[in-house]
Amino acid sequence: MNLKKNYRYLLVISLCLMALGVLLRTLFDKEQDVFNAPVYKFLFNLPLGFVLFYVVIFAPITEEIAFRSWACKKRAWIWISFAVSSLYVLLINVYGGIIYSVLFLLIIFFLKDKPKLRLYSFLILSSITFASLHYGNLQPKSFFLSFPQYVGMGLLFSYFTLRFNLLTSIIAHALNNFVAIAALGLFINSDKPINFEGKTYKATLTNAPLKWGLNTVSTNALGRETISFKNAPLGSIAESLIGAYDTKTYWIKQNEILSFRNYDLLVKQKDTNSFIDYKMVIDDLCKLEDLKIDTIKEKREVYVLNVKELDKIIDKSEDWDSKKPLIRTTVFALCESLSEGSIASREKIPTIIPQKGVSNNSIWIDFNKLYKQNTFEEKKNMLYSSHGITLTKKDTLVNVIRIREK
């Protein structure tokens, strides 16, 4: 078949599907934010050079060979496409890979004498599979609304291969990915600083400059006269402010904000007569950014932390140097630290809460020794033997404070 004469409608169909996907997200996903997309959260934790290589060079080449090389003129490319695309899908999902491979083989063997039907079948199978493999790129709702757009892109790249050659589709794919990455640098700094104030403070909230790689560090300083956050997600800012204004109640903080956009927040005392009202800052921030904070009681399996000999580890205003290698923290902060675990640990991290009646005292803990313990059980034993702190497993009602987007 001559595509120039008979199949130019493939270009029209692909562009229409892409436009449909954009329209659906515009109409029904009005709160969409590129910084809610899991793929970008993953990429931002990698060095920019690696991201550009992977997204602009490696991914376009491998994906086009996998899902578009069947459209090349030489027969051998069909088997190359079958092998690479089947491996691609199998690595993502074994069952999906088996189904895909069977369907591909059925098209090869049962439609060999029906070239038009065979072409349509390859177009549909490759484009739908290509679109489905991008499921993890977006939040579920955004992905389903964008599904026609991904299918349309698959058909468009197939058109380039059929109309021109595989290299053309690779270049088109690479340009598409490059624009998507380059545009992020514009989005992150597109908003102007937001100024807001309350009775006791004046504040400025700005988008933090875009940074790539694991070396991006969030810093914060919480004081009576100044509050400062640098390169921190909105959910983390809210968590810190909540912990600062309510130091007597231990809340399990459930941060449900999906966006990983980082911000700088600077809050300064309005006058010298009254310190910053933290509760007012968090309330105003919630109104400004459409956040919702509510509290619930929930039954959970937890470990209850109790300090049996508090007098031995409590902070008595000692000199820092005299307490080395101990580090000063608080009872509530220790519970939060133990509940976080580590990125490298595959162990399920339990929730830690303080024993009822245990105050949020400042205490001295040997964190260097604590984090040399590989498992939670080892940490539990170390805390008891070194500091007299017990962790007891229990099913109980706990206070949960949820931070969500409206």
Least confident of 234-238, 272-276, 303-307: 272-276
**Residue 227, φ and ψ in degrees, nearest 5:** -120, 130
Q: What is the CA radius of gyration of the chain?
A: 28
Q: What is the pLDDT of residues 84-140, one digit of tens each?
A: 999 999 999 999 999 999 999 999 999 989 999 999 999 999 999 999 999 988 888
As a three-state string, the secondary structure of 89-136 is HHHHCHHHHHHHHHHHHHHHHHCCCCHHHHHHHHHHHHHHHHHHCCHH
pLDDT of 30 = 67
Q: What is the pLDDT of residues 31-45, one digit of tens each?
A: 566 777 888 778 877
| pTM > 0.85: yes or no | no
8 Å CB contact between 306 and 392: yes
pLDDT of 32 = 66
Residue 371 has pLDDT above 70, yes or no: yes
For all residues of the chain together, what is the average pLDDT? Answer: 88
Q: Residue 253 and residue 261: Cα distance in Å, rounded?
A: 19
Q: Residue 187 and residue 7: Cα distance in Å, rounded?
A: 38
Residue 245 has pLDDT above 50, yes or no: yes
Q: Residue 401 and residue 239: Cα distance in Å, rounded?
A: 9
Category of 299 on φ-ψ map: left (φ > 0), alpha (ψ -120 to 50) or beta? beta
Exposed / middle / buried, residue 36 (Cβ in 10 Å: 0-12, 13-18, 19+): buried
8 Å CB contact between 333 and 314: no
Share of the chain above pLDDT 70, in %: 92
Q: Residue 266 and residue 203: Cα distance in Å, rounded?
A: 6
8 Å CB contact between 360 and 330: yes
pLDDT of 339 = 86
pLDDT of 217 = 67
**Residue 36, φ and ψ in degrees, nearest 5:** -90, -10
Whether residue 325 is preceded by a cis peptide bond, meaning omega within 30 degrees of 0, is yes
Q: Residue 163 and residue 82: Cα distance in Å, rounded?
A: 21
Share of the chain above pLDDT 90, in %: 54
Q: Residue 383 and residue 377: Cα distance in Å, rounded?
A: 10
**Once rounded to an integer, what is the mean pLDDT over residues 317-324?**
80
Q: What is the pLDDT of residues 164-208, one digit of tens each?
A: 999 999 999 999 999 988 877 666 555 678 999 999 999 999 988
- For residue 357, the Cα-to-chain-centroid distance in whole angstroms is 36
pLDDT-derived band at 381, boundaries 50, 70, 90: very high
Q: What is the pLDDT of residues 48-90, one digit of tens each?
A: 888 899 999 999 999 999 999 999 989 899 999 999 999 999 9
- For residue 270, the Cα-to-chain-centroid distance in whole angstroms is 36
Q: What is the pLDDT of residues 270-303, one digit of tens each?
A: 887 889 999 999 999 999 988 999 998 889 899 9
Least confident of 201-215, 267-281, 366-380: 201-215
Domain ranges across the chain: 3-187, 191-289, 292-406
Sequence-distant (6+) residues with CB within 8 A of 343 are none
